[in-house]
Amino acid sequence: MDLKPLIREIDDFPIPGISFKDITTLLKDPQGMTAAIDQLAEKLSEAQVNPDYIVGVESRGFIFGATLAYKLGLGFVLVRKPKKLPAAVYAVDYALEYGSDRLEIHQDALPPGSRAVIIDDLLATGGTAAATGELIQKTGAVLAGFGFIIELLDLPGRKRLPEVPIISLVQYS
């Protein structure tokens, strides 16, 4: 199933010059949502990443990541914005297009040596994904790959990520 027609594009959001890719229209379509999860699962299998855990990035990565973890029979781990996790955390600060941010993961979220795949809705500049990869490594787990619903090919996201399998279902130039 082609997912691109199910993703709404909104020009000049959140600022002028940006063409926002809105996944809420994909999420509300039962066949589209099922197809997205099935395609992620299939592509991860083809890439032979063999994860033990799916790691979802706040917040849209929670939707796709948790659903994918359920489908694959794997554990699901949260990566959150600051002060949202109750136990001891590892944190990484990273640069955004206009500012900076921080992500956190529980220190005991992933067993050392376990294999984790990061799932999020969008790969653009790669800052969030790269920071999440650093968090995985801080836990002692192995970063096995990345999966995204959307990838913006004109931005340098892929170049900022480690050399592991990177899967995206819909690409925009």
pLDDT tens digits, residue range 2-30? 999 999 999 999 999 999 999 999 999 99
Fold of 49-172: Rossmann fold (3.40.50)
Task: Tell me the average pLDDT across 100-118.
Answer: 97
When the pLDDT of each residue in the chain is averaged and rounded to a whole number, the result is 96
pLDDT at 81 over 90: yes
| Total-model pTM | 0.96
CA-based nearest residue to 140, from 117, 113, 100: 113
Beta carbons of 71 and 37 less than 8 angstroms apart: yes
Given this model, what pLDDT does residue 99 score? 77
